[in-house]
Amino acid sequence: MDSPSASGHHLPPRGGAGDDPESDIPGSEGSLAWTVATQEVVAILGRKWVISIVRELASGTKRRFQLTHAIKGVAPKVLTETLRFLERDGVVERVLHDEGRGSKSIGYQLTDLGQSLANPLTAIYRWGREHLDDVHRSRQETDALWAEKVVLPGARDIVEVPEIPLK
């Protein structure tokens, strides 16, 4: 039986007879599992401040005040909520942080699971560095077409201009 993911979706078991490397390719027979797993990871990473926290903790254990100082704009309450969210998902763990002067405090560090995000996040960063200029250019061109109420190929009517530009 499939096991439910955190979102309640059922993912097929890993490592079984049907565990075909080709199922990792979108459009193959395993594409539903690919979609569900990918959407769930994007939902985790898409939460505000998660990527900033993971980036900061990649260099080692940090105390809460160090994270607040390093991540500009994050409110202390939101930082705490996000750290708890990541702790619940097994990405971050609280540890006793010894400052070496006899005082101890709570610090946060990435778990092995959290550290395993380094390569995927690096790939996303590289993709962005390579392609975001193209994305921005496309947005500008499309916004200009919509502003001129140009009929797009295949469209029957004039395209409605969105009230709020897409970001």
For the chain, what are the domain ranges? 1-46
How far apart are alpha carbons 8 and 83 in whole angstroms? 22
Residues of the chain with pLDDT > 70, as a percent, come to 71
Q: Across the chain, which distance is largest between two alpha carbons, in Å?
A: 74
At position 57, the amino acid (one-letter code) is L
| pLDDT value, residue 141 | 87
Q: How many CB atoms lie within 10 A of CB 92?
A: 23
pLDDT classification of 32: cutoffs 50, 70, 90: confident
Q: What is the pLDDT of residues 102-139, one digit of tens each?
A: 778 899 999 999 999 999 999 999 999 999 999 999 99
Neighbours of 62 (CB within 10 A): 19
Q: Which two tokens stand for residue 57?
A: 């903790």
Separation CA 129–CA 79 (nearest Å): 27
Q: Which of 2-11, 61-70, 96-105, 128-137 has the lowest mean pLDDT?
A: 2-11
pLDDT of residue 144: 85
Residue 23 is classified by DSSP as G
pLDDT tops 50 at residue 17:
no
Distance of CA 147 to the CA centre of its chain: 32
pTM: 0.71
The answer on pLDDT for 12 being more than 60 is no
Q: Mean pLDDT over residues 41-68, rounded?
A: 95
pLDDT of residue 146: 79
